[in-house]
Amino acid sequence: MKIDKKLIIAVIFLALFGLLMIYSSSSIWSLYKYNDSFHYLKYQAVFFIIGVILMIYISKINYNFYYKYSNIIILSSFILLILVLIPGIGSIRNGSRSWFGIGSLGIQPSEAAKLGLIIFTSKYLANNEKNINNYVKGVFPILFVSLIFFGLIMLQPDLGTGMIIFISVIALFFVAGVPLKFFAFGSILGIIGIIILIVIAPYRMDRITSFINPWKDELGTGFQIIQSLYAIGPSGLLGTGYLNSVQKHFYLPEPQTDFIFSVIAEEFGIVGAIIVVGLFIIIFYLGITIACKSNDKFAKYLSFGIIFQMIFQATMNLMVVVGLIPVTGVTLPFLSYGGSSLLVSMASIGIVLNISSNTIN
């Protein structure tokens, strides 16, 4: 069994750099809130160790295990997304009922649901390629399941994760060869759906207006993006140096999560930003190469879905912090603070590693 060592090195390096940046970005806030500047680092370090062990362990589990139990996986994900919405079971953090609280820790079931839906969709497409041109038999069933998941996540509400899940499924449709007219029609329905989501939740319109002109409400909806741009703008080629961020001093709210890239760019400048983006490009290239070379249809869809979903999430996060799209609330894989995100990301890479060692001649 030959493991893709390049992929492992890229992921481990990115996650280790994430640990360094979580300490740098969170130390001031952590000292203020917990009287311990290492609070977030310690938790993330534990999740990192567990994540590496999990990645190695899962890399040894044959990917056909997920094919066999895909129905159980998708059903479990569905049940968890329902349970988290129930008061007393799910807990509210940052305005979203997206967590199962365990002491000071939290588990986010939507992270597992992202992987669960990719597994289920991959099996479905592998078994129904002959019906892929038939919208009723080939596309609608999996689209229906995806919309249910999207709806449950929107009830939390979490538009960013919902978009990641839905667009990842659409990307798998494209790879499977669904006719292009489906995507044209789907785009129109998607635009209508986004308009409806904005109408029923006016705060989303506030995010859009703050995206267009963040200085219109510089102490409200535009605050995060303004502080992010203040971090990135003057960073220059090499930045201010490690631990020397100004914006982490209570300007950028909880910078160890969604806006950790802002601190990376501030402290390491253009060079640091290019290195981070370059590592994501390497992961994308290696993952897509594994998908293309795979001689098993399920493995091909699964590896593509995992890697695309991961890179799409990273792209969304990076676009937010530089002001290219409105704030979505998605984390940067392997770098942002968050145990659920890191563990699921590591487990996902473990699956891709197993595919690379079992399906490539």
70-113 pLDDT tens trace: 999 999 999 999 998 988 787 877 777 787 776 666 788 889 99
Share of the chain above pLDDT 90, in %: 58
Q: Binning pLDDT at 50, 70 and 90, where does residue 1 land? A: low
Cross-strand bridge partners of residue 93 = 96
Q: What is the pLDDT of residue 209?
A: 75
* Coil/strand/helix, residue 98: strand
Q: What is the pLDDT of residue 47?
A: 94
Q: What is the widest separation between alpha-carbon atoms in the chain? A: 60
Checking if the pLDDT of 266 tops 80, the result is yes
The residue count for the chain:
361
Q: What is the pLDDT of residue 99?
A: 76
Pick from 301, 340, 311: nearest CA to 66: 301
Average pLDDT over residues 250-276: 93
Tokens representing residue 347 in the block: 């487990």
Q: What distance in Å separates the CA atoms of residue 227 and residue 321, rounded to the nearest whole number?
A: 9
CB distance 302 to 359 below 8 Å = no
Exposed/middle/buried for residue 188 (C-beta within 10 Å: 0-12, 13-18, 19+) = exposed
pTM of structure: 0.92
